[in-house]
């Protein structure tokens, strides 16, 4: 009889150990899945916010291009021709006199007010 109880006790202990390991693994997996779902949700929210920002910037860019076109057309009627070549803006009048300037605040160029302040 003691031999049967010992075997039963060992089987119960082994079952508890296996059950504990499985429960720990299940809990760890569940926690990892919850964290993963939260991260995915946050990243999707961030992607949505960035997409909204891109859409707003595209609209603003279109509006600014329309403003530049309007200004160029108006100045052309007065005999001033504007050419924008990268970071260089050139203005030419009817007599052929050309004046050029770099765009202020662009990358790699210090604005004139920054240079004068130093």
For the stretch 40-93, pLDDT in tens is: 999 999 999 999 999 999 999 999 999 999 999 999 999 999 998 989 999 999
Percent of the chain at pLDDT above 70?
Answer: 87
Q: Are residues 68 and 93 in the same domain?
A: no
Q: Are residues 55 and 108 in the same domain?
A: no
Give me 12's structure tokens: 């119960």
Q: Are residues 23 and 57 in the same domain?
A: yes
Q: Are residues 66 and 114 in the same domain?
A: no
Domain count, the chain: 2
Instruction: Assess contact for 102 and 87: CB atoms under 8 A.
Output: yes
Identify which of 62, 67, 91 has the alpha carbon closest to the alpha carbon of residue 79: 91
Q: Which domain holds residue 2?
A: 1-78
pTM above 0.75, yes or no: no
């Amino acid at each position: 009889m003691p031999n049967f109880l010992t075997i039963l006790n060992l089987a119960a202990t082994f079952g508890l150990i296996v059950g504990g390991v499985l429960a720990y693994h299940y809990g760890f997996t569940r926690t990892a899945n919850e964290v993963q779902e939260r991260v995915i949700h946050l990243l999707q929210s961030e992607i949505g916010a960035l997409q909204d920002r891109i859409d707003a910037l595209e609209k603003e860019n279109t509006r600014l291009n329309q403003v530049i076109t309007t200004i160029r057309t108006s100045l052309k009627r007065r005999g001033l021709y504007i050419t924008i070549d990268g970071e260089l803006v050139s203005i030419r009048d009817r007599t052929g006199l050309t004046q050029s300037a770099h765009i202020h605040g662009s990358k790699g160029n210090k604005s004139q007010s920054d240079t004068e302040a130093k």
